[in-house]
Structure 1
Amino acid sequence: MTISMYKASIPVFIRTLNNLANILEKGAIYAETKKIDPSVLINSRLSPDMFPLSKQVQIASDIANKGAARLAGIEAPKFEDNETTFPQLIDRIHQTIYHLNTFKSEQIDGSEEREITLQMRDNTLSFQGMPFLFYFVLPNLYFHVTTAYDILRYCGVELGKADFLGQA
């Protein structure tokens, strides 16, 4: 049986980002209820050498957005990375989901062997489409969404595994 690259990417990205938006909503409600300046949560990090919540959300958005575009062989829309509030971060997630919903299966299916090259700060990474999706995009998406979840949980937001996994 062959795998549908579309089904293994776009619906997974959308579900994961919807779950992230719901997690951020809970963070906003928590800040309001506890009378905490939301910027305290948005600028929180798990360790001094890690990115804050805002950057974790921006990277999760970018990895899904750019990952889908690269699999389809097109340019991804760019975001300014200037979100400083929960509503702005949630809006960015919704914009990303809107963009992901524009992809059709025929744009992504068949990309298993597409050559994808990423210019990083210090080196260049080259992948074929399937390893790019399974060994780079999905792990990065889950890492940054998990880290955003963990930051808010560490700050006291009542989150559980069901918030990360979403509704079945």
Structure 2
Amino acid sequence: MPVTLHDAFVPTAQQILAGMAKLVDKAEGYASDSGFDDAELIEAKLAENMWTLPWHVRACWVHSGYAINLYKTGGFTPDFTDIPDSWVAMRAMIADAQSQLDAITPEELEAVAGETVGFILGGKRLMEMTGQNFLLSFNQPNFFFHATTFYDILRMKGMPLGKMDFMGPLRVIGS
């Protein structure tokens, strides 16, 4: 049975987003239990020239359902205008990404797989790819980079986390 573009991206992005939602819950509890001010975790970065925790949530939102929905227009422009500023806002953004992915059908995604999608930044079309290549060679690596960095920031701040916290709910037989 061939794997569709939907199969190759959507369920795994949903799995990682579910893991991120639980990480937000754990981070909020960890801040409270450890005497951290929420801002100490929310504003944490891996390096001075990198983004804070909420920016990585927004980037996962951008590189999942939002990106796929833009493919229908033939152009992708990242949107970093609404950066979450609290645990509640991060949860809401993750839930919105999940909802957008839930609404995308395999047929819809296959319909744009061969269409040209341009990367537009600052009003300039910088590169073009097929929808499939844009999703699998640009959005998917970006999505995983930002989800991993989100996890890494929490680990750096001392949260006791393991790989399963990152991975989210596995798609096992019978579940």
TM-score of the superposition, structure 2-length normalised?
Answer: 0.86
2:113 maps to a residue whose letter is E
Superposition RMSD in Å: 2.1
Of 130, 133, 139, 1:137 maps to 139
**Residue 152 and residue 101 in structure 1: after superposition, are their counterparts in 2 closer, same or farther (change >3 A)?**
same
Q: CA offset at residue 123 of structure 1? A: 6.0
Task: Write out aligned runs for 1:89-168 (5 A).
Answer: 89-121=90-122, 124-168=126-170
Superposed displacement of residue 100, structure 1: 1.5
- 2:103 counterpart SS class: coil
The residue aligned with 2:173 is none
State whether residues 61 and 94 of structure 2, in contact with CA within 8 Å, keep that contact through their aligned partners in structure 1: yes
SS of 2:113's equivalent in the other structure is coil
User: Using the alignment, how far apart are the partners of 1:68 and 1:25 within structure 2?
Assistant: 27
Report the equivalent of 2:42.
42
Residues 88-123 of structure 1 deviation map (CA, whole Å, 9 limit, x = unaligned) = 101110122112211122111243311110112476
Q: Distance in 1 between matches of 2:146 and 2:81?
A: 18
Q: Quote the Cα distance in structure 2 between the aligned partners of 1:126 and 1:2.
A: 26
Structure 2 Cα separation of the partners of residues 79 and 51 of structure 1: 12
| Stretches of structure 1 lacking an aligned partner (at least 5 in a row) | none
* Equivalent pairs, count: 166
Unaligned runs of 5+ in 2: 171-175
How far apart are residue 79 of structure 1 and its match?
A: 7.7
Q: Give, in whole Å, the separation in 2 of the partners of 1:119 and 1:79.
A: 14
1:55-80 CA-to-partner distances (Å, cap 9, x unmatched) read 11111111112222134x1599x785
Distance 1:51 1:83 in 2: 13
Percent of aligned pairs sharing the same letter: 25
- Per-residue CA deviations over 1:140-168 (Å, capped at 9, x if unaligned) read 00000000000011001111111111232
The whole-number CA distance in structure 1 between the counterparts of 2:58 and 2:140 is 15
Moved over 6 A (4+): none
Shifted more, 153-162 versus 103-112: the winner is: 103-112
Which has the larger displacement, 145-154 or 59-68?
Answer: 59-68
Aligned with 2:158: secondary structure?
Answer: coil
8 Å CA contact 2:66, 2:100 repeated in 1: no
Are 1:10 and 1:68, in contact at CA under 8 Å, matched by a contact in 2?
no
